């Protein structure tokens, strides 16, 4: 851990030095202002890793304050870094054709645009997620299930910067949809039951005709998944651990299954994700089979098992540029509704955020999925 932190902090220091060395000379700040700017860059280098380990070195509320400060610094740094690199690329490719004032104006523009993007991203991240309605066309869907609604929330990340009030507003909005079923597709928390139980209490108020169901995400396993499984069950939300339930809706049977996170076996071999096991014993005449799986990359196994629809999250839709460019390196789908053979896969952009309180180009969502006849 110490070695990783040392390497990460060194890399961060080099990247901050790159920003300072490229922007500050062009800004011509004067000696005192330049010294202050370098001090702020140095503070950012320290705050970003501190935010990631805050709860291991101190307790709330100091840990939360450290996380807030470091997360905000991380969000701003990422935008300044990308824009500085783009500015340098422009200088490299078109230096001969740019006016003499471009260096100074572009350096000012980098900082102004980074601040604006970070501010807009903060507002988007902290607002209550909007409702996105998606129709999922299923072949041979009986009349009884046409219009069946599932409200999906995912990747809320209750923790140092997301507390009870944030989750309260999400629950209120979900309940206004009056869904038939609620799916919580993982990464609910970032922290222990001891610290966060009061802030996840609003889950008790989730209301749907057939109840609310939860599957674990990778962040539950970072935060003692066994304790969170018990706590979520205590709150009245059914946890599906490679298992299913059968719902009788107007005479038509709907199978709703859930698997543990794709990486769960790395933390507990007994929790290996298994869509086929989740479907074991399900009625052969079920009208539709829905799988809750935190990561989209469960889709191959879900398609092999014979599911009709998989609901996932994990990706945050990239959350903000340029991270959206890296998601496809790990996951088959970044956001939205896609088809894999006979399986529909819906990937939520998430209802909260992780790390920097920043969403830009990837708004949070509460998803209202409606099963319809194809």
Cα separation, 353 vs 121, in Å, equals: 11
Helices (H) and strands (E) in the chain, counts: 10, 12
Ordered structural domains, the chain, with CATH = 2-126 (no CATH), 130-373 (3.60.21.10)
| pLDDT tens, per residue, the chain with 374 residues | 678 888 999 999 999 999 999 999 999 899 999 999 999 999 999 999 999 888 888 888 899 999 999 999 999 999 999 999 999 999 999 877 888 899 999 999 999 999 999 999 999 999 999 999 999 999 999 999 999 999 999 999 999 999 999 999 999 999 999 999 999 999 999 999 999 999 999 999 999 999 999 999 999 999 999 999 999 999 999 999 999 999 999 999 999 999 999 999 999 999 999 999 999 999 999 999 999 999 999 999 999 999 999 999 999 999 998 888 899 999 999 999 999 999 999 999 999 999 999 999 999 999 999 999 99
323: left (phi over 0), alpha (psi -120 to 50) or beta: alpha
Query: pTM to 2 decimals?
Result: 0.95
Cα separation, 360 vs 114, in Å, equals: 12
Do residues 236 and 204 touch, judged by C-beta distance below 8 A? yes
């Amino acid at each position: 851990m110490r070695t990783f932190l040392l390497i990460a902090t060194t890399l961060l220091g080099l990247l901050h030095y790159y920003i300072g060395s490229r922007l500050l000379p062009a800004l011509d700040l004067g000696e005192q202002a330049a010294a202050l700017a370098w001090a702020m860059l140095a503070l950012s280098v320290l705050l970003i890793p501190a935010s990631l380990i805050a709860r291991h070195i101190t307790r709330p509320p100091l840990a939360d304050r450290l996380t807030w400060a470091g997360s905000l610094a991380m969000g701003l740094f990422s935008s300044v870094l990308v824009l500085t690199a783009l500015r340098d690329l422009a200088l490299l490719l078109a230096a001969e054709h740019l006016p003499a004032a471009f260096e100074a104006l572009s350096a000012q523009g980098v900082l102004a645009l980074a601040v604006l993007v970070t501010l807009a991203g903060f507002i988007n991240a902290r607002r209550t997620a909007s409702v996105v309605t998606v129709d999922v066309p299923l072949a041979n869907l009986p009349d009884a299930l046409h219009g069946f609604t599932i409200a999906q929330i995912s990747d809320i990340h209750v923790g140092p910067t997301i507390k009870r009030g944030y989750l309260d507003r999400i629950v209120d909005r979900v309940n206004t949809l009056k869904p038939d079923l609620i799916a919580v597709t993982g990464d609910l928390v970032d922290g222990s039951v001891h610290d966060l139980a009061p802030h996840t209490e609003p889950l008790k108020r989730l209301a749907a005709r057939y109840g609310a169901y939860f599957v674990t995400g990778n962040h539950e396993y970072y935060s003692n998944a066994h304790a969170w499984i018990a706590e979520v069950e205590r709150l009245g939300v059914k946890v599906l651990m490679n298992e299913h339930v059968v719902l009788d809706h107007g005479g038509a049977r709907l199978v709703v299954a859930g698997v543990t996170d794709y990486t769960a076996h790395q933390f507990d071999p007994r929790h290996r994700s298994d869509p086929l096991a989740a479907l074991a014993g399900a009625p052969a005449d079920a009208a539709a089979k829905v799988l809750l799986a935190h990561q989209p990359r469960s889709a191959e196994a879900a398609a092999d098992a014979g599911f009709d629809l998989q609901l996932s999250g994990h990706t945050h839709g990239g959350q903000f540029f340029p991270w959206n460019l890296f998601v496809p390196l790990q996951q088959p789908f970044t956001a939205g509704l896609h088809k894999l053979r006979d399986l529909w896969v819906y990937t939520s952009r998430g209802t909260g955020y992780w790390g920097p309180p920043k969403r830009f180009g990837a708004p949070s969502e509460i998803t209202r999925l409606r099963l319809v006849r194809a």
